[in-house]
Amino acid sequence: MKKVLIPFVMVAVLVAIPYVGVTAGGQAYLFGVIVPYTAAAIFLLGFLYRMIDWLKRPVPFRITTTAGQEKTLDWIPYNRIDSPATPMQAWVRILLEVFFFRSLFRNTKAELREGPSFTFASSKWLWMGGLAFHWSLLVIVLRHTRFFFAELPGFVQPIEVADRFMELTLPAFYLTDALVLAAITFLFVRRLRDVKLSVISLPTDYFPLLLIGSIAVAGVLMRYVDKVDIMTVKALTMNLAQFSFDPVPGDIGPIFYVHLFLVSVLMAYIPFSKLMHMGGIFLSPTRNLCNNSREKRHVNPWNKPIKFRTYAEYEDEFREKMKKAKLPLEKE
Partner 1 sequence: MSNRISTILAFVIAVIMFVAAWFFMQSGDGASAPARAEAPVAAPKEVPIDSTRCVASTEWMKSHHMQLLNQWRHDSVREGNRTYATPDGRHFDKSLNTCLGCHASNPMFCFMCHEYANVKPTCWNCHISPMEATK
Binding site for partner 1 (CB under 8 A): 67, 105-106, 122, 124, 146, 149, 151-152, 165-167, 170-171, 227-231, 234
Whole-number minimum distance, CB 156 to partner 1, in Å? 9
**What's the closest the beta carbon of residue 105 comes to partner 1, in angstroms?**
7
Mind giving me the DSSP string for 73-89? STTS---TTTS-SSHHH
Q: How far is the CB of 79 from partner 1 (least distance, A)?
A: 9
Residue 254 has φ and ψ, to the nearest 5°, of -60, -25
Q: Which is nearer to partner 1, 192 or 230 (CB)?
A: 230
Q: Alpha-carbon distance 240 to 36, whole Å?
A: 8
Min dist. Cβ of residue 235 to partner 1 (A):
9
For the bound state, the minimum distance from the C-beta of residue 212 to partner 1, rounded and expressed in Å, comes to: 24
Nearer Cβ to partner 1, position 166 or 202?
A: 166
| 145: number of Cβ within 10 Å | 15
Nearest to 93 by CA among 251, 276, 290, 267: 290
Count of C-beta atoms within a 10 Å radius of residue 154? 7
CB of 162 to partner 1, least distance (A): 11
- Report the nearest approach of partner 1 to the CB of residue 291 (Å): 17
Question: 32 or 253, CB closer to partner 1?
Answer: 253
Complex with partner 1: residue 66 or 122, whichever CB lies closer? 122
Nearer to partner 1, 127 or 186 (CB): 127
Shortest approach of partner 1 to residue 294 CB, angstroms?
23
Cβ closest to partner 1, residue 167 vs residue 332: 167
The dihedral region occupied by 243, where left means phi > 0, alpha psi between -120 and 50, and beta the remainder, is left
Distance between CA 252 and CA 23 in Å, rounded?
A: 10
Helix residue ranges, H only, 223-329: 230-241, 254-269, 277-280, 285-288, 311-324
Smallest gap from Cβ 61 to partner 1, in A, equals 26
Nearer to partner 1 by C-beta: 19 or 147? 147
- Which is closer to partner 1, CB of 29 or CB of 147? 147
How many helices, marked H, and strands, marked E, lie in the chain?
15, 2
Q: What type of residue sits at position 208? A: P
Task: For 225-252, give one letter per residue: b (16+ CB within 10 A) or e.
Answer: eeebeeebbebbbebbeeeeeeebbeeb
φ, ψ dihedrals at 160, nearest 5°: -65, -45
> Could you give the CA distance from residue 312 to residue 332 in angstroms, rounded to a whole number?
11
- Closest CB to partner 1 among residues 229, 315: 229
Residue 273 DSSP class: S
